[in-house]
Chains A and B, each alone.
Chain A
Amino acid sequence: MNNRRFARTAGWLVLLCVVAAGLLAWYVTRQPASPFEQQQATSFEPALVSRGEYVARVSDCVACHSLTGKQPFAGGLEMATPLGAIHATNITPDREHGIGAYSLADFDRAVRHGVAPGGRRLYPAMPYPSYVKLNDDDVKALYAFFMQGVQPANQANIPSDIPWPLNMRWPIALWNGVFAPTATYAANPGQDALWNRGAYIVQGPGHCGSCHTPRGLAFNEKALDESGAPFLAGALLDGWYAPSLRQDHNTGLGRWSEAQIVQFLKTGRNAHAVVYGSMTEAFNNSTQFMQDEDLAAIARYLKSLPGDPQRDGSPWQYQAVAITPAQNLGAHTYATRCASCHGLDGKGQPEWMPPLAGATSALAKEDASAINITLNGSQRVVTAGLPDAYRMPAFREQLSDEEIAQVLTYVRSTWGNQGGTVDTKAVGKLRGHTDPASSSPIILHMR
């Protein structure tokens, strides 16, 4: 009797497990629906192709899918993750290694849902949790551009070096179920067209949150639109601190006008700051190509995101200081190395050399950006094909860890700045991580 009962229970349990496994297998390999399911498009109007090129600019596809000096969109950028390196793939219309064999629906599923043909899940280094907001027209235009406006490159993809079993892709489907939205952008009827266009670009193609929104334990962005307070509230990644894009007076865009936001995205500079760090690439490849009305829309939307005075600290105000270069190592280093451009008064030479008085890197508690730019300098800012006249030099070879820590401590505690002290060890650590010959590259190279 007992045996029979046990057998029956066990039987049910096995059946339940089989069903659960079947459901799981179905779920993690399932192809999400696409509105383009039955469409076979092979040739496209030039207007659609050029519209798609614009969407690709706004989405900054080249940032990861192209390497400098190599064929555009042939892939190859290495991204270090805690588990191993992955590489951006070839997205040229090459039929063997690229996406030439993708139907419009396949392309849609990859871009908006992170699912490759056959159900293989992409790593969320591809910002599909943002791209899902793209509307159907933009996805179709993007497809037209990649199929007809991009030269095919017969270049094989580089396999990831993440070891088994960590390289299995199906668990990403579960991650998607929890963290990746499935709906395209829905206009907010309470806001005007300009605001909605800005929200669309910032949340969707622009994927600003990939860098500027803090991530949770599962590397998920903590918010994907303005309904969450962490959205664009500033985040540390790749050895840079991407500042808040909310109305935070000190560490965000609180002191920036809409016109200044537009100017920054269009020319790479304004009275407050000059692009540096990862933003240089975003500017060089993407924001400067955006249409004026789209930049105005972005500015309108960003200005509508409230700041958080508690996180931001007391509002910065300029405080003049007496010039005594010899007072300590930090002040002396500042006077000899920094003041020619940034001024002994810290006010810089706007809009060419940014002020350090009131700079987000000198007000934010996170000191990574200040250390990184001092060690490694800034990259070339290229506006409308012309390189910048002035650039932050790299002090890696010229200043010791202690000298950098001291000078940054001086900068971050002078002129009303409240970023605070910089630890010598923190400089040494970032120096090691950003050494081109380092064997411990920065964790998670995401954009």
Chain B
Amino acid sequence: MELRINQKAYQVDAEADTPLLWVIRDNLGLTGTKYGCGLAQCGACSVLVDGNVVRSCVTPVAGVVGREITTIEAIEEDEVGKRVVATWVERQVAQCGYCQSGQVMAATALLKHTPAPTAEQINAAMINLCRCGTYNAIQSAMQDLAKQESV
């Protein structure tokens, strides 16, 4: 099957029910996307599919054929994604960093749909887990980003 990832076409030989995460990491070697829980609970494996955030550990690869997939490797090629990463660096959000590629994907998806989210909308969307507890830093970064857009 053919997958479009980060605006590039990849030929993939995988079973229809293989999780997209395995294809991205194992078949294609794009290891920026992380495996966390494997049960759609933590969000470490988040990628964008047609601009929506999706947990790739529970996404059968057959379901994303013909759709546009974006992973952390190419997030800075996106205008919004670039701003998110810059703000993340500015606010020094990451600690161990394992969950951060997923956090950045979730933030980018939110800001693409809702450029100036309210605190409530941020809380509802930024639900990925962080073992280090960087939630406060994520909140600050998100508030910065929301303000940038509303200025």
A349→B57 CA distance, assembly (Å) = 13
Residues of B within 8 A of A340 (CB): 40, 54-55, 58
* Known contacts A340-B55, A349-B60, A353-B58; A393 and B124 CB within 8 A of each other: no
Q: By the criterion CB–CB under 8 Å, are B40 and A389 in contact? A: no
**Chain B interface: which size bin?**
10 to 19
Interface size on A, residues (CB 8 A): 16
A63→B128 CA distance, assembly (Å) = 40
| Stretch of A88-96, A257-265, A331-339 that contacts chain B | A331-339
Q: Which residues of A (21-68) have their CB < 8 Å from a CB of B?
A: none
- Shortest C-beta distance, B107 to chain A (Å), equals 16
Q: By the criterion CB–CB under 8 Å, are A390 and B124 in contact? A: no
Q: Which residues of A (310-324) have their CB < 8 Å from a CB of B?
A: none
Q: By the criterion CB–CB under 8 Å, are A393 and B41 in contact? A: yes
A325→B41 CA distance, assembly (Å) = 17
A393→B124 CA distance, assembly (Å) = 21
Residues of A within 8 A of B19 (CB): 389-390
Q: By the criterion CB–CB under 8 Å, are A341 and B124 in contact? A: no
Chain B at the A interface: SS class: mixed
**Does B63 make an interface contact (CB < 8 A)?**
yes
**Does B140 make an interface contact (CB < 8 A)?**
no
A336→B123 CA distance, assembly (Å) = 11
**Does A352 make an interface contact (CB < 8 A)?**
yes
Residues of B within 8 A of A390 (CB): 17, 19, 58, 60
Annotate A243-269 by CB proximity to B: 1 below 8 A, 0 otherwise.
Answer: 000000000000000000000000000
| Chain A residue with Cβ nearest B121 | A326
* Known contacts A325-B124, A326-B120, A389-B18; A352 and B60 CB within 8 A of each other: yes
Residues of B within 8 A of A332 (CB): 124
| Chain A residue with Cβ nearest B39 | A393
Q: By the criterion CB–CB under 8 Å, are B124 and A326 in contact? A: yes
Residues of A within 8 A of B17 (CB): 352, 389-390
What residues of chain A have their CB less than 8 Å away from a CB belonging to chain B? 325-326, 332, 335-337, 340-341, 349, 352-353, 389-391, 393, 398
What residues of chain B have their CB less than 8 Å away from a CB belonging to chain A? 17-19, 39-41, 54-55, 58-60, 63, 120-121, 124, 127
